């Protein structure tokens, strides 16, 4: 697994994407990522929630969903008290901080001129 992981990592730098979807021609660096992608076309959703009827094609999405039932919010904003059950929620939130800071940066630049 170590050599394969290293090869997959090196592809992030080389841009090589040797695994191509036969349905939509999208390409991937790792065979496992292609396997997960194929579930879009097959409709396979092997990760089932035991608390509600939802099911998921990706393990990471399923794990994030389980947090909606437990209330766990492990992703904390470093700039304010906000927390999130999903990493992408934190990333989206951080973008709001960047947008909120932009006008004040513009004001500082104008003052310094």
User: For residue 29, which phi and psi values (nearest 5 degrees)?
Assistant: -75, -35
Per-residue CA distances from 51 to 55, 56, 69 (Å): 11, 13, 7
Q: Quick one: CA torsion of 101, 105, 111, 113, rounded to 10 degrees?
A: -170
Return the CATH superfamily for domain 1-43.
Classic Zinc Finger (3.30.160.60)
The tens digit of pLDDT for each residue in 53-105 reads 999 999 989 998 999 999 999 999 999 999 998 888 999 999 998 887 755 44
The tens digit of pLDDT for each residue in 10-62 reads 999 999 999 999 999 899 999 999 999 999 999 999 999 999 999 999 998 99
pTM above 0.75, yes or no: no
Domain borders along the chain are: 1-43, 75-112
């Amino acid at each position: 697994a170590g050599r394969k992981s290293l090869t997959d990592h090196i592809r992030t730098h080389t841009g090589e994407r040797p695994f191509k979807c036969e349905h939509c021609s999208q390409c991937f660096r790792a065979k496992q990522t292609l396997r997960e992608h194929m579930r879009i076309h097959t409709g396979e959703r092997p990760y089932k929630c035991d608390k509600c009827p939802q099911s998921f094609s990706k393990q990471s999405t399923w794990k994030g969903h389980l947090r909606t039932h437990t209330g766990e919010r492990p992703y904390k904003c470093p700039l304010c008290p906000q927390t999130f059950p999903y990493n992408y929620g934190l990333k989206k939130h951080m973008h709001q901080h960047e947008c909120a800071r932009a006008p004040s940066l513009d004001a500082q630049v104008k003052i310094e001129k």
